[in-house]
């Protein structure tokens, strides 16, 4: 599946990377998924966010939410309900609030695995 991650509130919150990003990206890619990052702030912003959280070597691409991406959006992980409802499958994630014990991305990984079955 093509799995799309939002930036603000999803991978990053208050200037801090959410825990478990790299682990979840590596797991998804290992299971044959393609991982993309997109943002309403544009593809350049999404790319810089990937560098900031340390997954720019893993992401398959970066897109703006302003236009439909050139690949199918099979699953979205986003803190905005409308983004999750727009696409066929998704995980609505709690906005990251710098909780060092945050495990929301592990929950997203479980949801993605369920959707891929
Ligand atoms: Mg967001």
Rounded to the nearest angstrom, the distance between the alpha carbon of 33 and the centre of ligand 1 is 22
Nearest to 92 by CA among 83, 73, 82, 79: 79
Rounded to the nearest angstrom, the distance between the alpha carbon of 31 and the centre of ligand 1 is 25
Rounded to the nearest angstrom, the distance between the alpha carbon of 117 and the centre of ligand 1 is 27
Q: Which domains does the chain have, with CATH numbers?
A: 2-116 (3.40.50.1000)
Q: Are 17 and 53 in contact (CB under 8 A)?
A: yes
How does the average pLDDT of the chain come out, rounded?
96
Per-residue pLDDT tens digits for 43-77: 999 999 999 999 999 999 999 999 999 999 999 99
Rounded to the nearest angstrom, the distance between the alpha carbon of 3 and the centre of ligand 1 is 15
Nearest to 49 by CA among 72, 58, 102, 85: 58
pTM, entire model: 0.97
Q: Are 112 and 91 in contact (CB under 8 A)?
A: yes
Per-residue pLDDT tens digits for 16-35: 999 999 999 999 999 999 99
Write down the pLDDT at residue 11. 98
**What sections of 38-80 are H helices per DSSP?**
43-53
Signed CA dihedral, 19, 117, 26, 91: sign only: negative
């Amino acid at each position: 599946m093509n799995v799309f991650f939002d930036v603000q509130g999803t991978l990053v919150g208050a200037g801090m990377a959410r825990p478990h990003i790299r682990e979840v990206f590596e797991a998804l890619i290992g299971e044959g998924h393609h991982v993309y990052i997109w943002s309403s702030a544009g593809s350049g912003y999404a790319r810089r966010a990937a560098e900031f959280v340390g997954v720019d070597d893993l992401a398959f691409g970066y897109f703006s939410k302003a236009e439909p991406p050139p690949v199918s959006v099979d699953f979205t992980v986003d803190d905005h309900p409308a983004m999750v409802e727009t696409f066929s499958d998704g995980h609505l994630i709690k906005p990251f609030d710098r909780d060092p014990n945050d495990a929301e991305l592990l929950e997203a990984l479980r949801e993605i695995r369920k959707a891929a079955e």
